[in-house]
């Protein structure tokens, strides 16, 4: 399953993501991973969530991020949830078509491997593509 948290800067996306992470850690018995740019969440998220700074691994592109997620899963089949904060900051040059393709890839990967994805995107809801709207949650 894929969930998209969408909104402009300052709309509360990160707070919603933190709540979702902490609830998931309490309720789920698998491994929870959060990929972010920097380490801003380290004091807000439950210590059982594995925080990964995308900058340390130079995840600057869609293909690199897909490969990184595959590597994470290959190294730990117990991952049940992957959260991606500030997706557009991680992807150096975001493109709508490639973002849609990445979201569809997450849905397929998640279904095959029993992994749920939650991705925060900083953009106006009215500019969302049909793919983003399909997975968008309200908060």
Residue 53 is part of a domain; what is its CATH number? 3.40.50.300
| CB 69 within 8 Å of CB 105 | no
Tell me which residue range forms the domain holding 114: 2-137
Give the count of beta carbons closer than 10 Å to the beta carbon of residue 85: 25
Question: Tens digit of pLDDT per residue, the chain (139 long)?
Answer: 999 999 998 888 999 999 999 999 999 889 999 999 988 898 999 999 999 999 898 877 899 999 999 999 999 999 999 999 999 999 988 899 999 999 999 999 999 999 999 999 999 999 999 999 999 997 6
Domain count of the fold of the chain: 1
Q: Give 22-87 as a DSSP string.
A: HHHHHH--SEEEEEESSSTTTTTS-TTEEEEEGGGGT--SHHHHHHHHHHHHHH-TTEEEEEESSH
Model pTM? 0.94
Q: What angle do CA 102, 105, 109 make, to 5 degrees?
A: 140
Give the model's pLDDT for residue 83: 98
């Amino acid at each position: 399953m894929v969930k998209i948290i969408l909104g402009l800067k300052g709309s509360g996306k990160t707070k919603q993501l933190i709540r979702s992470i902490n609830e998931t850690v309490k309720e789920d018995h698998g491994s929870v991973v959060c990929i972010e740019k920097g380490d801003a969440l380290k004091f807000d998220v439950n210590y059982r969530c594995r925080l990964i700074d995308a900058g340390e691994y130079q995840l600057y592109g869609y293909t690199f991020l897909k490969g990184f997620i595959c590597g994470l899963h290959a190294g730990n089949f117990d991952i049940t949830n992957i959260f991606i904060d500030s997706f557009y900051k991680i992807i150096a040059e975001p493109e709508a078509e490639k973002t849609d393709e990445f979201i569809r890839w997450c849905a397929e990967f998640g279904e095959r491997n029993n992994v749920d994805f939650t991705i925060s995107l900083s953009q106006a809801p009215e500019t969302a593509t049909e793919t983003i709207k399909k997975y968008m949650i309200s908060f």
